Structures are given as structure tokens and as C-alpha cells.
Chains A and B, each alone.
Chain A
């Protein structure tokens, strides 16, 4: 166990150092930054991105990508909200929504493995299809009003909602699967060398499909947090920033578009880095627009560091 802890530190020292450094800088820059309230705020805002990023780590590990998770977030939220309206017992509605999310993921995976298509283009088409479906099902406008007990579970009464705990639970579960089960190995093996994996008797197609199913399921879970936070389901939820961050954060955390790596904790820290930058710049009175520049710059730096590392 201690061994694993040491390995984690070794693997993530770069991102951890970055996170610490950012926090030090901001706590000097603004006295309001290092307050309990703000820290909770940052964590609260990170929850959705963490869950999406965790799903993306699975996909990235196999060398794939999923652009459709933002749309899936919106669509499954609408599905759940419509079911709420139909007076379906809400936990049952959530289960159904998760199944829908998994179905979208399966469709992605099926096209990718069956036709040997590029994940980029398949999930791009799916982005459009699923977003359209969300708009249709909601008639283009938000569905307001969530069941009270649902709000309590997913948002909670305190400042620090339950969202972050759910997100961390998801991350911990994912890390467990990746580190402790053969499945976690197989997804990395597929990303690192599909032929080698195939020769070792691994069902590569089936496993490739499964990661998109996981991404779809987790996009659905993140939609629950979104709905609980807004007390509404939005057909245009997750339009841009969510999915972009869901790709950027894992990459910042050391995952690679080439596959073979599955660093859950890295992705979580990646999300936190982005959230801290947002919050810190906010505190310093830097406008939203500059924040976007800063975040773009962080993404570029992350890939540059990665490509320099590879050169060596």
C-alpha cells in the first residue's frame, strides 16, 4: 500500500506541484482565496468536470476520444426530467437515464469497432445527434423543477453540496477498477498496443466498446449533479466548456491522446487546477475572458511538457 502511495506521488508530482504553486500564488494575490468558503466553492464547481473527466480517462486509455459526452449530459438530463414529470419514482428514473447514457456510449463503441471508424468522427456525429435529441425531447427549453428528495441527495443543504463527494466516490471507484482489476490493464494494453493485446487473447473490440459505455454512464451521472445544481434540466447543458475540459483535464493530469495511460488522480487534479485558476482569477478581479485565455494557455503548456517528456 505504501508502495502504491509512493508510486502515485512519483507519477503525479508535476501536477501536484502545479496545483500547490497555483494555490500559493493566489492566496498571496487575494486574501479571500484561501478561505473555507472559497475552497468549498472550488470543489463544488469541480464535481461535474471530475465525473466527465473520469469517463474520458477510460476512453483516452484505449487511444480513443469521446466528443459526445457534453450532449449526452444534456440529453440524459432531459430524459430524467421528463420521467420525473411522468411521476416515475425518481431513483428508477435515474436508473433509466443511466441506461440511456450507456446506450449512447454503446452506439459510439459499436460504430468505432464494427466499422473501424475514427472515434473522433463517430463521436462528433453523435454529438450532433444526441444534442438534437435533447432539443427535441425538451422542445428546446429547460425543464424546471426537480423532486425534493432528488435535490437533497445530489445537491444537499450545505454550501459544500453532496456533488463533490459523489464525484470523488466515482473517481475512487474508477481508480480502483483501473488499478485493481484485469479490465483496467486491458484498456491500457489496447491503447498501448492493440495487436499485442489481441495476441494475448484479450477481446479488444468488446473492451473498446465498454469504455464508451462507461463514458456515457458517467456523463449521465454528471447530468444529475448539473440538474440538482440548477434545479432544472437544460437541453444546451455541456455545450462547450464541459467536454473541452473533460479532455483537457486528463491531458493536464498526464494522460495521453495516444492511449496506454489511465491516470484518474491526474485527471482529478487536472480539473482542480483549472477550477483553481478560474476561481483565483475571479478573486483577483480578472474577467471571465482573460480566464479563458489562461486556461487555453494551461492546456498548451500541458501538451508541450508532455511532448518534451516524450522526446527524451
Chain B
């Protein structure tokens, strides 16, 4: 009990965990349906892509950057991969398809990274611009229409099941693990934290900040591409207008998970919790039977409440 108390007093995760518990208990009491396995399958299915994208966004925001082009990246990757499957004889190879998807994501990330770090453009507006470009390319390549003809094997890889656990959720958890290790145990994670905390210090210490920044954008791009492939396989179709507002969803769960928008501090696990919280809220609204139209409003409110509750600038709020 002591430990539990201590957790809620000191842990950075206490906010989202508490919210998840409250919502979970309330929903379980309200509807027996909530605690059913099929419902958890449902939730995990819905939040997988958000988690995958948000992990990259977490590390990027911690390093003081942001990438608003991930939504467009999702669409473009899906379109490219599907075009390959359509064009290749016999539906193409799954592995090559995945390779194309990841290369595409890496390349888009590289473009963002070079613009931001080498050309020193502010990341917010620069990635807003590349977002338009990427989405435009997706629209051009697909002719603006949804593309059918996704390889069956590819669909199985990304949206199969292990037992009753959706494969994409396992992928998402795997990426959370990789993200956790990257942030806490790899050099680049450490440098990301330091750069977001005080870029000048890192620079004057003789560390090649630009190089690390580019790599971080590439990682974010690759993860968005994986998200794009998961989405494509889930839908069995590539939509050039897919992934709209995914970037905002990702930023929202990152911040709900306690990561500071101004960089320097944050956790991947927090992001996971943020995504779970958002997923449960959406699911719960469905269960309660809140009309779809109300859901967006509640989601926004939850984001706002989470941010205010986890706010660490409060001490400075007196003026």
C-alpha cells in the first residue's frame, strides 16, 4: 500500500494511470461489455497506429523538434507500397513491399531532418510544408483515388492475430520497447534529451547535434511509415487522404503522457499510457452510446484536462 501511495505521489506516470483506472472502473461498472476480451482486442486494434507514430514523435519532441508531416507520410507510404504490389507480377513480394515502405519513411524523414537541421528552418512550419508536399505526391501517385490490390500476405503480416491479440498491437508494443531502449539506453536517446534540454550546451560540448537531429527525423519517418503499412493492411486499401490529423493525435498523446512540448523531458511509457487513455475514452464513449458527434468534443476535453493536470509550469503561472 505504501508503495502504491508513493507511486501516485512521485511517479511521472501517476496522472495517466489514475485517469485510466478511473475511466476503466467507471466503464466496467457501467457496462459488462467493457471488460470483455473482444472489447480489449477492439481497443488495442484502434490505438496501435497511434502508438507506433507517437513513439517517434515522443523522442522527437523531447529533442526539441516536431514533425507534422507524419499523417501525410502514412498516406504516401501506403500508396507507394500498394502501387508496388499492383505493379509487381504476381502481387509482388511482401518483404520487398515492407522494404519499400520503410525506405519511403526514412527518405521522408531525411528530407524533414535536412530542412530542419542543416537549413535551420523552424520544424513546426517546415514540416507543415513538407506535409503538403507529401500528401500531394500521394494524391498524384494514386490519382486521388483509393488503391485496391494490397498483397494478401502483406495484410496478414500487419493485421493478423497471435491468439486473440492483434498483431499490430504486438508490433506497437515492440516499438514502444525499442523506443524505450532508444531513449534510455542508446547514445542517441541521451543526446536527444540533452539537446531538448539545452541545445547550446550540447553544441559547445563538441557534439555533432545536426547529425543526431537528422537521425531522429528519420526514425520518426520510419515509424510513421510502419503506421502507414499497418493502416493499409487493416483497410486492405491505400487511401491518399489517409492519416489526416494523425500528427495531431500523436502530439496529443505525447503531451498527455507527460512529455514537455518545449523538450528536454518525457517518456515513451507515458506516451503509451496517453494513447491507452485516449483509446479507452473513445471506446467508452462508444459503449455508453455517446453519439459519434459528441466524441470529438470529449476527446478534446480529455486532452485539455490531462495537459492542465500534468502541467509543470504552474509555479511560474503567477504574474
Residues of A at the B interface (CB closer than 8 Å) are 65, 67, 111, 114-118, 120-122, 124-133, 135-136, 139-140, 198, 204-205, 240, 244, 247-248, 251, 257-258, 287-300, 302-304, 306-307, 311
Contact = CB atoms under 8 A, between A and B. Distances in A.
A132 B298 contact: yes
Contact of B128 (A121, A198, A247): A247
Interface stretch (B23-31, B44-52, B117-125, B221-229): B117-125
28 contacts: A67-B248, A111-B308, A115-B308, A116-B314, A117-B308, A118-B262, A126-B300, A129-B297, A129-B300, A132-B293, A135-B293, A136-B293, A136-B297, A251-B125, A287-B140, A288-B139, A289-B139, A289-B140, A291-B136, A292-B136, A293-B133, A293-B137, A296-B129, A296-B134, A297-B129, A299-B132, A306-B121, A307-B120
B261 interface: yes
B319 A296 contact: no
Contacts of A251: 125
A300 B129 contact: yes
A65 B122 CA distance: 14
A124 B306 CA distance: 13
Given A204-B319, A248-B128, A126 B304 contact: yes
A127 B293 CA distance: 14
B316 interface: yes
B319 A198 contact: yes
Contacts of B129: 248, 296-300, 302-303
B115 A121 contact: no
Contacts of B126: 300, 303-304
Given A116-B314, A244-B132, A289-B140, A307 B300 contact: no
Given A125-B301, A129-B300, A198-B319, A307 B119 contact: yes
Contacts of B311: 115-117
Secondary structure of the B contact surface, majority rule? helix
A116 B313 contact: yes
Contacts of B299: 128, 132
A267 to B, nearest CB: 14
B248 A127 contact: yes
Given A129-B304, A132-B299, A300 B130 contact: yes
Contacts of A296: 129-136
A257 B136 contact: no
A248 B125 CA distance: 8
Nearest to A256: B122
A276 to B, nearest CB: 16
Contacts of A307: 119-122
A122 B317 contact: no
Interface of B: 115, 119-122, 124-126, 128-137, 139-140, 144, 240, 244, 248, 251-252, 255, 261-262, 291-301, 303-304, 307-308, 311, 313-314, 316-317, 319
A300 to B, nearest CB: 4
A132 B240 CA distance: 24
Contacts of A135: 292-294, 296-297
A111 B296 CA distance: 19
A-B pairs with lowest CB-CB distance, top 10: A132-B297, A296-B132, A128-B300, A129-B300, A293-B136, A292-B136, A132-B296, A299-B129, A289-B139, A296-B133
Contacts of A304: 115, 119, 121, 126
A118 B301 CA distance: 16
A127 B316 contact: no
Nearest to A311: B120
A244 B128 contact: yes
A198 B291 CA distance: 46
A18 to B, nearest CB: 15
A240 B307 CA distance: 24
Contacts of B140: 287, 289-290, 293
B239 to A, nearest CB: 14
Contacts of B295: 132
Contacts of A128: 296-297, 299-300, 303
Nearest to B135: A292
Interface centre among A67, A140, A296 (most CB of B within 10 A): A296
Given A125-B252, A296-B131, 7 more contacts: A121-B251, A135-B294, A136-B297, A140-B292, A240-B244, A257-B124, A293-B136
Contact of B296 (A116, A124, A131): A131
Contacts of A240: 244
Contacts of A300: 115, 121, 126, 129-130, 133
A11 B298 CA distance: 44
Nearest to B318: A116
